[in-house]
Amino acid sequence: MAVVSTPATLEQAPPVLDNAEVLRIRNDFPVLDQLVNGRPLVYLDSGATSQNPLSVIEAEQEFYEQRNAAVHRGAHHLAVEATEAFEDARQTVADFIGVDYAETIWTSNATEGLNLISYTLSTAALWSAQGRGDAALKELALHPGDEIVVTEMEHHANLIPWQELAFRTGATLRYIPIDDAGSLRMDEAAAIIGPRTKVLAFTHASNVLGTINPVRELVALARAAGALVVLDACQSAPHMPLDVKDLDVDFAVFSGHKMLAPTGIGVLYGKQELLDVLPPFLTGGSMITTVTMERAEYLPAPQRFEAGTQRISQAVALAAAVNYLTETGLDRIHRWEAELGERMVSGLESLPGIRVLGPAAGKERIGLAAFDVEGVHAHDVGQFLDSRGIAVRVGHHCAQPLHRRLGLTATTRASAYLYNTTDDVDRFLDAVSGVRAYFGA
């Protein structure tokens, strides 16, 4: 007897995105409907900043038109509506990454979130020495002899804050190296992460290599050492399903502008028991309970880390972006981008004089490819592509140590998103095929 698919079955296995649906999705992004240097725009720089759908633009505009007011500070109608919209947005984002409402902190971007963690950890020892906080805070304090571990593929935002934390506390910074294929040396990770490790910070997916790191293996090593785990999810949260509770990380950060939202809004996740004992990062209004001329008492998270007027309209717009991604389907987006990434990498690898960084064609990666063109500087490659209406990123992508490890100073990076088609990738590959001839390399 034939098996008839039920609606529930169809919901469990949504169809993979295809070019026809992506073309419909593109209609939601007005900026993509333009000519650049006389040619239709091919936007392949979403790894730096994504574009915004109309629903996100309209959500922020509607907030300003209908309910613009300070949140948590007024009893009038607009203030109440603004506060509800602001906190509803927090709940939407918390649900998106599988965490509790009070574990979701608004920041300006992921960089601020990482600095928040590193700064509060550096002041933990000072607070404890002055009798502020409890035994749980004392356990978080870093001292000379302690170690902070990162990886060789980190974005500067997940490297420099830890360098500064080591400087402020006397701890030692160590890193897990990569192999020539752009994967972490997990054998060395097991030797590096040990009893002295207090913090392990690493990227979920590399913004240069496209490598997706083995989060569970790294977390297991950190747990065995009793170390905190900090996850940079900037290149994963926009592109694949993410449940940070399930991954069991202690902190995670990501930025709105890489996931269809405006600039100026980011998210820090932290386990509740950690957030409630850490000292505040910024201080001022809205994050206190009692203030005298001598001292202040602070609210628990999330308000504990949200001093001053917040990014209200941006938070509302981020929630709209999250809804857009959720309705489209993160699993579908991830599979489509994997297909585009494979198309990019295999196409680039077929061209003479092109070196692609990261996993080879056929290996798992996110939908981006950074590459070097023999004899042509990355900036020249980027300008050549721009003349043909193709937007890519050039430079070291805020990852100088990684480029140095690979013997390069700069690369060209193409990064796809849910609004890119296979035709976009093919136009990009066709243009790259003409770079060396154009420059006489």
Interstrand relation of 251-255 and 288-291 (parallel, antiparallel or unpaired): unpaired
Residue 245: name the closest of 360, 94, 38, 392 by CA: 94
> Distance (Å, rounded) from C-alpha 197 to C-alpha 214?
19
Both structure tokens of 146? 């302690």
- The H-or-E segment that residue 199 falls in is strand 197-203
Are the CB atoms for 154 and 202 separated by under 8 Å? yes
Task: Look up residue 364 and give its amino acid.
Answer: E
Residue 178: name the closest of 223, 226, 145, 210 by CA: 210
Are the CB atoms for 393 and 415 separated by under 8 Å? yes
Residue 80: name the closest of 92, 68, 91 by CA: 68
Residues whose CB is less than 8 angstroms from the CB of residue 412 and which lie 6 or more positions away in sequence, other chains included: 370, 371, 372, 373, 378, 381, 382, 385, 392, 393, 394
> Distance (Å, rounded) from C-alpha 163 to C-alpha 105?
23
Residues whose CB is less than 8 angstroms from the CB of residue 408 and which lie 6 or more positions away in sequence, other chains included: 372
Residues whose CB is less than 8 angstroms from the CB of residue 420 and which lie 6 or more positions away in sequence, other chains included: 22, 42, 43, 44, 46, 340, 367
Are the CB atoms for 189 and 202 separated by under 8 Å? no
The residues carrying an active-site annotation are 398
Are the CB atoms for 147 and 197 separated by under 8 Å? yes
